[in-house]
Structures are given as structure tokens and as C-alpha cells.
Structure 1
Amino acid sequence: MMINRILNTEGSWGALIARLTLGIVLFPHGAQKMLGLFGGYGFAATIDAFTNQMHLPWIVAFLVIMIEFFGSIFLILGFASRLWSLAITGLFIGIIFTTHLAHGFFMNWFGNQAGEGYEYALLIIGIAVTVLVNGSGKYAIDTQLVKLLNK
């Protein structure tokens, strides 16, 4: 069954660490956009900024917020981690090409660039691909779902 292939995971500590790292690091970014936490603007203002300032289609703006917010939560829980990791990989490839590529590799540590480089996005992609390949790891909802599906 296809759902078993997506959810099935080995009880790997490495996959757990990658999944939690990705979820925990991404959550504040999603919470900024969705809820206005951590100095963010919240849902409506973020949609407005993405569509009017960055000229992204509204569906792309909506998906960015959904993937960062719900993807991070579901990664922390270990629910459909491979699917969320695939979405995050696609999201951050898009972010590199629409926002960071023009600013080079390095982050703007000293404020002397016009914007941020793409090194952070590459780290996110690398961790997301690790979860995509290895699954959720230990202590994941996916593990329990597979057990239920195989009964």
C-alpha cells in the first residue's frame, strides 16, 4: 500500500534528530507568518506582503504559510514527515530562486549585503531531504499509524 511506504519509518535516532531539528527551527518562521508571534506580521499582513510587495500569486503565499506553520508542527509530531519534508524542500528551492540567489551564498552576518544568501535555505533542504529519505524516526505518529494500518 502506498500509504505504508510514505509513513513507514525505521526507529532511527538520526531521523528523529533531523525531524525535530527541522520542525523546531522552522516553527518560529511559520508562527511569525501565521500567528504574528516572534515579531511576525500574522496571516493577513504576510499574505499582503507576499502578494503586493513580492508579487507572488496568493496561492503561493498561502502555501508558504501553511507549509512553514503546519509542516513544522507535524514534523515535530512525526506525522506524514516525508510529505512535509518534500513540501519544505520544494518551498526552500523556490525561496532560493526567488529571494536569496541574487545575494550569493553567505548569510548577511554583518549587514553589508542587500539581502540574505542561500546557505540557510541549503541547510533546511539538506535536513528535509534526510527526513524524506529516512522517514520520521523514533517516537513518531507515523509509526503508530503504520501499526494500525497493518492490523
Structure 2
Amino acid sequence: MPKPNRRTDLGLLVLRAGTGGVLFAHGAQKLFGWFGGHGLEGTQDAMEQMGFRPGRQSALAAGAAEAGGGALLAVGLATPAAGAAVAGAMAGAVSVHAPAGFFVTEGGYEYPAFLGFAAACLGIAGPGRYSLDHALGHRLNRPWVMAAAFTVTAAAASVVLRRRAGALGNGPEQAAPPGAGNVPG
């Protein structure tokens, strides 16, 4: 395997900063009402309507995964855990938008899927040389951390999505409900 070079590290930095910044902004909309968001109260109500119960805890979890995971990705700290947390949150967002199809222009899941894939790829690939993980000797960026983070996230996302399907009156075997509506932030 070729040794990463400065261009690769620079590319990872730019991808981390851009993806992490976007995710942080979305999480801050949910948690604090920043950037035109609905804040925790509005997000709580929306989460309840979308079948995520309890709504307040769901809003906190989604907001923390997006804002916290985004911030950690941006600086390259605990990159596997940050990527896994964001990927899990985006799985929930995809379930909301899936009934509208793929393209975001129709309300589809294209955008959250892309953010989830980008975060997962960063969690797997690692942050590169220009990161806090690198400066700290990769203590929080080890293969076992990646395996544990993605395993826990997959298990948690599975539970959340099954509960959501049950709350909406769908069987746990159904991936997404019809008529998801708009998602704040």
C-alpha cells in the first residue's frame, strides 16, 4: 500500500473541514436554533411527528451526532467514532426522506445519504496528517476504535429505525413510512 502523501493529507483536511462544517451547522440548527433552525423544541416536535420517540431524546441525539460528529470530523479528532456517529444519524435522515425517492429536488434522501457516506469514508480512511488525531499519536484513531464505533452505531441505528417503524404503525421489516414531510434544519 502506498504511503499517504501531502496531497492526500490536504485532500482529507479539505473534505473533513467541509463535511464537518456542514454537519456542525445542521446539528446547531437542531440544538440551538442557529442558522435559521428550529432549535431543540421545534426539532423535538418534528421528531415526534416523524415517529422518533421520545422526541426530545431523539432531537438531542440527532443534533449531538451532527454537531459533535461534524466538529470532530472537521478537526480530525476521534475520526472513526465521529464518522460512525454521523453515519448513524444520517441513516435516520435517509429513512425520513426515502419515501420521496432519491433526488433532493423531490425531497429525497440524496443529501443525507451523501453526508453519511462521506462521514463513513472519513471514519474508515482516517483523518490524515493534518489532524488532531495525528498530533495526538492516533490514540483515538485505531482499527479497534473504528470497528467498535461502526458496530455500536449500526446496532443503535437498527434499534432506532425499528422503533420508528413501530411508532408509525409499520412493521419492523418496513424500512420507511410513507409521507415523511419536511425536516427542520
TM-score range, shorter chain: 0.7 to 0.9
Distance apart, 1:78 and its partner CA: 1.4
Q: Which secondary structure state, in structure 2, belongs to the residue aligned with residue 38 of structure 1?
A: helix
Match of 1:68 among 53, 66, 69: 66
Q: Count matched residues.
A: 133
Is contact 1:10-1:137 (8 Å) kept? no
Work out the CA distance in 2 between the residues paired with 1:10 and 1:47: 44
Counterpart residue number, 2:78: 80
Moved over 6 A (4+): none
Counterpart residue number, 1:3: none
User: What are the superposed Cα offsets for residues 33-89 of structure 1, whole Å, 9 maximum, x if unpaired?
Assistant: 1111111111233223312x2231233332101111111112212111211111111
Match for 1:54: what amino acid?
M
User: What are the superposed Cα offsets for residues 6-54 of structure 1, whole Å, 9 maximum, x if unpaired?
Assistant: xxx9862232222112111212211111111111111233223312x22
Where do 5+ consecutive residues of structure 1 fail to align? 1-8
Q: How much identity, in percent, do the aligned residues show?
A: 35
Counterpart residue number, 2:41: 44
Larger RCO of the pair (alpha carbons < 8 Å, separation 6+) = 1
Work out the CA distance in 1 between the residues paired with 2:100 and 2:126: 33
Is contact 1:27-1:72 (8 Å) kept? yes
Is contact 2:10-2:130 (8 Å) kept? no
| Aligned ranges 1:2-151 → 2 under 5 Å | 12-51=9-48, 53-58=49-54, 59-97=57-95, 99-108=96-105, 113=106, 116-146=107-137
Is contact 1:10-1:134 (8 Å) kept? no
Q: Which secondary structure state, in structure 1, belongs to the residue aligned with residue 108 of structure 2?
A: coil
Is contact 2:31-2:59 (8 Å) kept? no
Distance apart, 1:147 and its partner CA: 6.7
TM-score by length of 1: 0.76
Where do 5+ consecutive residues of structure 2 fail to align? 141-185
Work out the CA distance in 2 between the residues paired with 1:27 and 1:10: 28
